Amino acid sequence: MKSKKKSGWFYVSKRMEIAGAHCLKLDYESKCRNLHGHNWIVTVHCRSRKLNRAGMVVDFTHIKREIYDRLDHHCVNDVVKVNPTAENMARWICDLVPHCYKVEVQESEGNVATYEKV
């Protein structure tokens, strides 16, 4: 009788502080319709059943290049081609990073949006 090979998941996460500006397109009055800035805390979660040839799920430097280098000290509206709410930013980030399954975007103390692939 063959024994079943146990398989698990490898998990990595990268947390970054990203300074940037944005304005939201809203159908109601809000000061967030004006250009303003945040120091977002973005946490990217990745997982894989196998490691790549280098022994990683994804290189942390790759995550930094894809996200931090594109967004930090930029107007996010010029980079993210959807209304740059924290929720939309979380999904946009998740779609950019290989093996990413969840992203948390903290816009300010106590305000966090999470996107998780199902």
**CATH number of the domain residue 52 falls in:** 3.30.479.10
Q: How many CB atoms lie within 10 A of CB 59?
A: 14
At residue 102 the predicted structure's pLDDT band, cuts being 50, 70 and 90, is very high
Say if 1 falls within a structural domain: no
Name the token pair of 62.
């790759």
Q: For residue 19, is pLDDT > 70?
A: yes
What is the model's pLDDT at position 82? Answer: 96
Q: For residue 1, is pLDDT > 70?
A: no
**Residues near 46 by Cβ (< 8 Å), separated by ≥ 6?**
11, 12, 13, 57, 58, 63, 97, 98, 99, 100, 101
Name the token pair of 40.
């977002």
Say if 77 falls within a structural domain: yes
Angle at alpha carbon of residue 77, lines to 75 and 80, rounded to 5°: 110
Q: How many domains does one find in the chain?
A: 1
Boundaries of domain holding 82? 10-116
Say if 4 falls within a structural domain: no
- What's the pTM value of the predicted model, to 2 decimals? 0.91
